[in-house]
Structure formats: structure tokens, C-alpha cells
């Protein structure tokens, strides 16, 4: 299970599980990086 991701902008995103991490990452992208979208698989690929 991956629960952490570091955005290139410097934001550290942490979720309680894969699903939570994906939701939080997608929220971060829509708020901080409009127009940038990543799929669940792409998010989990770069997460740790």
C-alpha cells in the first residue's frame, strides 16, 4: 500500500491508503495545478 507522494511543487501528500492518497492527490492537482490530471495508476506509480 502506498500512502505518500511528493509533488514537484514541494507539497507532501499523505493518505491513509491507496484510495485516500489518490483522492487527495487529485484534489491537490485541481486546486494547485488546474488542467493537470493524472490517473489512479499514474498517481500510484509515483507514490511511495
Instruction: Per-residue pLDDT tens, the chain, 48 aa: give them.
Output: 999 999 999 999 999 999 999 999 999 999 999 999 999 999 999 999
Q: Where are the domains of the chain?
A: 4-46
pLDDT at 27 (0 to 100): 98
Cα(5)–Cα(41) distance, rounded to whole angstroms? Answer: 13
In the numeric block, which cell numbers belong to residue 12? Answer: 507532501
pLDDT at 29 (0 to 100): 97
Within the chain, what is the greatest distance between any pair of CA atoms?
27
* Strand (E) or helix (H) holding 29: helix 18-32
pTM greater than 0.85 (yes/no):
yes
Q: Which of 27, 35, 31 is nearest to 5 (CA)?
A: 27
Amino acid at each position: 500500500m502506498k500512502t505518500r507522494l511528493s509533488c514537484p511543487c514541494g507539497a507532501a501528500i499523505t493518505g491513509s491508503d491507496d484510495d485516500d492518497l489518490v483522492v487527495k492527490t487529485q484534489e491537490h492537482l485541481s486546486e494547485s495545478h488546474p488542467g493537470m490530471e493524472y490517473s489512479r495508476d499514474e498517481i500510484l506509480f509515483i507514490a511511495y
